[in-house]
Chain A
Amino acid sequence: MLNRTADNVARATPEPLAKKIRGISDKGLAWLFISPTILLLLAINIFPLFWAIYLSFTNYRANRPNEVVKNLGLANYQRILGDHDIWIAMQTTAHFVFWTILLQTVIGFTLAWVIDRKFRGHAFWTTIILVPMMLSPAVVGNFWRFLYEPQIGLFSYVISFVTGIPPTNVQMLSNVELAPWAIIIVDTWMWTPYVMLICLAGLRSIPEYIYEAAEVDRASNWRQFWSITLPMALPFIMLAVLFRGIENFKMFDMVNLLTGGGPGSTTEVASITLKRQAFESWRTGYSSAFAIILFVAVFGLANIYVKALNKVKQR
């Protein structure tokens, strides 16, 4: 059927065009098919990257199109690396990335391990657990803001019920100490299911016969976990950590919706600072330099991490 359709198409192709196509090599044809994608990639990924690199050496400001653009050399980079506020934003980002990854990995792996037991109704519970990651971050951010509301929020009332502290004193988003944790809680709630899914795939890929052999050798459950389950699931866990690490390094939406970087600058992660510099203060050259620094940092760290991941896989 498929051959017949192909024959019909071939017959319908005008002879001059058919001749031209017959003259193209397989390699040429391959290039012909992938060139639109490559052009698109160049236009929307590669060109903006090089353009941003160029802008990062200038004083260009997008809201001053008539101003003369001056070459500043490395001045933008020097200013960023010497800026105390930028380092604070980087520390805030690191704190956020570290704790979200730690919590999501521990809880996600535990959930995957429990789900992998295939208890009665496990499919139903898997679906329920996956719900948070199916929601839009905008929706999640908004409804958690209400949950955290000290006067009417459910979260404050639950904490008040458990601890006896008046709900109006549970100011998750206004308190300097609590606000970073408020964001970590929401991100963990939303993205732990994602880590769980990847870990579950890892656990399900472990052949059953390895456990059977361990049983024959009378290995305890604890021993089986440390010697079989964890090492064999480790590449999957590391993959989940990589994905979440990259995502959370550039976290913007949740922080913006929940605290907007506040109170003060307590939750101002690097992406919020970048947005403020680029689209509120209109320091396009300066923010391009900052974006390049962030890009290099993520790219470098991800590369080191991927090498480590490959080593783990090869073991």
Chain B
Amino acid sequence: MKSTLKLALGLASAIFASTAVSNVAHAEDLTLCWAAWDPANALVELSKDFTKETGIGMKFEFVPWTNYADRFLNELNSHGKLCDLIIGDSQWIGGAAENGHYVKLNDFFDKEKISMDDFVPATVVGYSEWPKNTPNYWALPAMGDVVGWTYRKDWFSRPELQKEFKEKYGWDLAPPTTFDQLKQIAEFFQKRQIDGKTVYGASIYTERGSEGITMGAMDVLYSYGFQYENPKKPYEMEGFVNSENSVKGLEFYKALYDCCTPPGASNSYMGEGVDAFKSGQVAMHMNFAFTWPGLQKDENVGGDKIGYFVNPKGPDGDQFAQLGGQGISVVSYSDKQESALKYIKWFANKDVQAKWWSLGGYSCLNSVVKDPKFPSSQPYAQAFLDSMAIVKDFWAEPSYAPLLQASQKRFHDYVVAGQGSAKDALDGLVKDWTQVFQDDGKM
């Protein structure tokens, strides 16, 4: 009896001790919040090195893109402690900074000698600064991203298609450099039979619920001359948002949607675009660069069958692309800010950034992207570099959400539902955006 009691006590103590030890180990675990997508899996892999080096465990909270903003903005607005680190969307930076959700990183960067000059300038402005173009940093550029295009290289290189295309349009079938060329190629492939299957011209963003159609339409509008505001007078939008060229740009986007997209593609965003390309439905595919590593590896459409090109030029030769991507920030409501800052310091390291790129993440560090070997390191590396050099981003104001909702509605009403004209849509957008800024007391 006595020995049984001793055994029981011993077992109980052992269980208690192991639980206590594991609790101590988990007490310092950091939770990193991000979207559920391929780069997040790469980050999980990368972060194992951080745990090895520091003993700090990493937990991850990944939410699908469709709920990403809702979920995490709710978390930040309610001062939740779920996330110690967050990779928040570029447009959140204004709101997160002004509402105190993110820790300001200037002092930390100075102390740890992390210089923003070491990062691609567009990513610093896009992901880290608020107010824009001022040295106030709220995030470390983490995941460079930009809208670009993939195309079916194998279809483009078929002699019979090349011949037919040249006869019809008078130029060689090749990745387009202008939007007019892009539309001609899309028209050429629309409803064409290839290998016994009907294929379509292009997959473009048309999603209504979150930000899809805005990201897609802006990708075209920028190169047509759209500007958010008068460069000399902030928030003056009349004649800039709804300029003649902007109207032409939006008309072009609608024409592309009407002529050359797969049937039923009226609510298509990143996932639907990838599906359309992977299933061999489309000749060209607009999407953020983060999708490229996955497509490159795809057995059916990847490898030699896929090619990449930068967003084409507009009618006046202007060429811009919609910025995507995010910076990593420390959440000001976290109790583990010190450990979270350790992660930022580790992540900013040159070797870690190089590994980040090799695993499928898009590094924003100059030493990685300006490495002479970088353009040839992946088939899509050059297109990514060229695209990052021409980026523009949506409003990053604290009121970005109502600004985005307005453009989603105006663009979808016109492009997909065919209601009104492009001029009506953009005039309406000026009205909506003016109202938002008036509500904010900025006009």
Contact = CB atoms under 8 A, between A and B. Distances in A.
Interface of A: 59, 62-66, 85, 149-151, 168-169, 171, 173-174, 176, 256, 259-266, 276, 279-283
A260 B401 CA distance: 17
Interface of B: 69-70, 73-74, 77, 79, 95, 99-100, 198, 208-209, 262-267, 398, 401-402, 405, 409, 412-414, 416-419, 439
B267 A259 contact: yes
A64 B440 CA distance: 11
Contacts of B263: 150-151, 168-169, 171, 174
B419 A260 contact: no
Contact of B416 (A168, A169, A263, A279): A263
A64 B418 contact: no
Given A151-B262, A173-B266, A262 B70 contact: no
A264 B417 contact: yes
Contact of B401 (A169, A171, A280): A280
A150 B418 CA distance: 19
Contacts of A262: 208, 266-267, 412, 416-417
A267 to B, nearest CB: 10
5 contacts: A151-B263, A169-B263, A174-B416, A256-B209, A264-B412
Contact of B417 (A169, A176, A280): A176
B417 A282 contact: no
B266 A171 contact: yes
Contact of A149 (B99, B100, B264): B264
Contact of A171 (B100, B264, B402, B412): B264
A244 to B, nearest CB: 26
Contacts of A171: 263-264, 266
Contacts of A150: 263-264
Contact of B77 (A59, A65, A263, A264): A65
Given A59-B439, A150-B263, A64 B417 contact: no
Contacts of A59: 439
Q: Which 3 A-B pairs have the closest CB atoms?
A: A264-B417, A174-B266, A281-B402
A281 to B, nearest CB: 4
Nearest to A259: B267
Dominant SS among interface residues on chain A: loop
Nearest to B100: A66
Contacts of B267: 173-174, 259-260, 262-263
Contacts of B99: 63-66
A281 B405 CA distance: 7
Contacts of B79: 65
A263 B209 CA distance: 11
B77 A151 contact: no
Contacts of B416: 174, 262-264
Residue from A63, A173, A281, A282 having most chain B Cβ neighbours under 10 A: A63
Contact of B412 (A63, A151, A263, A281): A263
A62 B77 contact: yes
Nearest to A167: B263
Given A260-B209, A263-B417, A264-B416, A64 B398 contact: yes
Scoring B74, B95, B266, B401 by chain A CB atoms within 10 A of each residue's CB, the highest score goes to B266
Of the candidates A59, A62, A260, the one having the most CB atoms from chain B within 10 angstroms of its own CB is A260
A283 B436 CA distance: 10
Contacts of A263: 208, 266-267, 412, 416-417
Contacts of B413: 264-265
A262 B419 CA distance: 12
A283 B74 CA distance: 14
A129 B8 CA distance: 59
B289 to A, nearest CB: 26
A5 B266 CA distance: 67
A262 B198 CA distance: 26
A169 B263 CA distance: 7
A160 to B, nearest CB: 12
Given A150-B263, A171-B266, A173-B267, A280 B70 contact: yes
A57 to B, nearest CB: 16
Given A150-B263, A151-B262, A281-B402, A264 B419 contact: yes
Contacts of A176: 417-419
Given A263-B208, A279-B70, 7 more contacts: A171-B266, A174-B263, A261-B208, A264-B208, A264-B412, A276-B405, A280-B405
